Amino acid sequence: MLGLTLLVVACPGALVISIPVSIVAGIGRSARDGILIKGGEFLETAAKIDVVAVDKTGTLTKGRPQLTDVVALAPGVEKNHVLAWAARAEAGSEHPLARPILEAAEKAGIPVAALPEHIEPVIGKGITARVDGKRVLIGNLALLEQFGVADTVGADRVAHELATQGRTPMIVAVDDQVLGVIAVADEIRRDAAAMVAALHKAGVKKVVMLTGDVKPVADAVAAATGIDEVHAGLLPEDKLDIVARLQRAGHVVAMVGDGVNDAPALATADVGVAMGAAGSAVAVETADIALMGDDLLKLPEAISLARRTLANIRQNIVIALVTVGLLLAGVLMGGVTMAAGMLFHEGSVLIVIANAMRLLRRATPAHSAPLSTVARESAPSI
């Protein structure tokens, strides 16, 4: 009878369910909040995140840039002339910056009759197109240097001035002549600064920006949002290398992105986070966590929930082990019968379940209201 009682009492029923019940409750709570976590493994890893890397365009910014400047530099060239060549070349481009150029040309009454005869993207530099038999270059100074076009009108200086104002400049050249510079700007999401502050409050040591944009624009966004570290002018493989470098330094890294070019870094990071509503299908498929709305504050909320879940798991394990230990001691001392042992044993199972169910309640951090207010009051344009 003593042997049977020991076997029954020592059966770790509460211990067995202590982890799964907390994981299920945590994932259920996140799903109600519009955060899709693809498994318990990623929920547990998210609780250990200490560095968050974020893409700029479409993540920190709205991803809907508008044309802000058209600067004509060549003698005898007007602004509409520069915009017309840019629009004709970009008509065949799938790049996100093509849309604001074409929209601005339409508003200015500039006809874009047909697609260019040929168009080719130059990674990290811009595009080259063939329009009416002429070569059109739209991009940075490195693109001009690659095709041997001399900047004789100070386009690089103008581009740098626009970039320091938080705008993305593009030099326009036709054949071997630089015509001018056009610039677009994107609006920072209203909750971007609040997200960075909330991440720090949630225990994240460092928030890093990874962007393919030029450094002055990236620095302007970082200054407006409180980003700790900036890496600009990156290709997709460069983002992946930086994430891997942070991991080698001993950090648990989350990568947040929304585009196809973010997919390699999302896959490499310990936890990949995709902006589900605005993100590409590739980004959402590659990521471990998807934010199903455009609310960036869901990210610190997900990390806080993961930390609560991990703490809840530890509590359940302690409850289960302490209960089994006390019951075993009671049986050996002769004060606990099999019936009493089973009663207390099942009681501990119910306690573990009830403790895990607390995760289903929505937590309201003390700092959430002020942060939301800040997000509503400031939305700088970059």
**Catalytic residue numbers, as ranges:** 55
Local structure of residue 233 (DSSP, 8 states)? S
Residues in the chain: 382
Q: Exposed e or buried b for every residue in 320-343, given b needs 16+ CB within 10 A?
A: beebbeebbebbeeeebebeebbe
What is the distance between the alpha carbons of residues 58 and 278, in angstroms, rounded to a whole number? 7
Give the DSSP letter string of 92-125: T--STTHHHHHHHHHHTT----S--SEEEEETTT
SS3 182: strand
- Residue among 374, 254, 243, 229 nearest 307 (CA): 254
Pairing of the two strands 66-72 and 271-275: unpaired
Q: For residue 209, list its beta bridge partners.
A: 54, 230
Q: HSE (CB half, 13 Å, CA atoms) of 274?
A: 29
- The greatest distance separating any two alpha carbons of the chain, rounded to the nearest whole angstrom, comes to 105
CB–CB of 286/256 below 8 Å? no
